[in-house]
Amino acid sequence: MTEQKMGWISGWKMIAEYCDVTEATVKRYAREKDMPVRRLGNKVFAIPGDLDKWLREKTC
């Protein structure tokens, strides 16, 4: 089963596209603003619902 089918967004580029920001911004948010991403080795993943909640809270 692929990450997309399991409800995961895989990779900085895809996470950035989902959030409508640049890859550099997503990496900075993950490092400095506790963006909900998960790492497994050198791969990064995010759950869309977690990102949606974080984005709503960040902008309020």
1 part of a folded domain = no
Domain extent for 49: 9-59
Residue 25 lies in a domain: yes
Both structure tokens of 49: 């619902």
Q: Is residue 4 part of a domain?
A: no
pLDDT bucket at 58, cuts 50 / 70 / 90: confident
Asked which of 3-7, 31-35, 37-41, 54-58 is least confident by mean pLDDT, the reply is 3-7
Residue with tokens 């990102």: 51
Would the pLDDT of 5 be above 60?
Answer: no
Of the pLDDT bands very low, low, confident and very high (cuts 50, 70, 90), residue 59 is confident
Is residue 48 a part of any domain in this protein? yes
The whole-angstrom separation of Cα 1 and Cα 13 is 20
Residue 29 lies in a domain: yes
The number of domains in the chain is 1
Q: Is residue 42 part of a domain?
A: yes
Long-range contact set of residues 12-17: C-beta below 8 Å, sequence gap at least 24: 12/44, 15/44, 15/46, 15/51
Instruction: Let me know if residue 55 belongs to a domain.
Output: yes
Q: Global pTM?
A: 0.84
